[in-house]
Structure 1
Amino acid sequence: AFGPESPRNPTPDFCIQRPRTIYGVSKVHAELLGEYFFHRYGVDFRCLRFPGIISADTKPGGGTTDYAIEIFHEALKAGSYKCYLRGNTRLPMMWIDDCIQSIVDIMEAPDSKLKQRT
């Protein structure tokens, strides 16, 4: 949802959003439409931004979190795994159970407790 002009480490929730991919543009578009329909028509819009979601039960499928799962599958199969990321590389990830719980929590949250919609 951000872009090269956005501040980093950590990126604040409210800052310039000028994504350069259709994926990022779609995310910003959906969030802004949701806010518009909330303010204009009272639609109960709630949105979460997730990092990469990981699960031990799902094999790698071509996403950014693949290496985190591949490490274990390959280590069990071959006895080792060579990761090409630098040791200090950080990629945001979230466990699937925590992801599901966060969705349940925001859907059950009273409207009066929400400070923002995205």
Structure 2
Amino acid sequence: MTLTSEQPPRVVLIVDDNQDAADMLASILELTGYEPKVVTKSTSALDYAAREVPFAACLDIGLPMMDGCELARRLRAVPGWDRVLLIAITGYGHVADRERSRAAGIDHHLVKPVPFADLEELLREAI
């Protein structure tokens, strides 16, 4: 499903230290009507969060310096971010990893490689 011109753009923050992976996801999201914003560092995501509240955020869990779970906890503490859809997109797929994501405030935990249809379904359901 793509968004129609009658629908407002839905901003999706992408936080991934792999620039190529982030850019690829951003391109696909843009083609389907979303407005992606890419950052490659947790600190940049927190700076963004202080200024903007997106519709959703896709977080890599294996970020350096501050992992995606700690980032999620900090994002949830920012005013307005309690209603942002947080989706982990990660290589960590064990039950303990999923539980850790959930405890950090992440709504959905997807394991790479993620079929775009799975991500789009989560985004569409949240609209």
Question: Could you say which structure has the higher strand fraction?
Answer: 2
TM-score by length of 2: 0.25
Q: Which has the larger radius of gyration?
A: 1
Instruction: Provide TM-score, normalisation by structure 1.
Output: 0.26
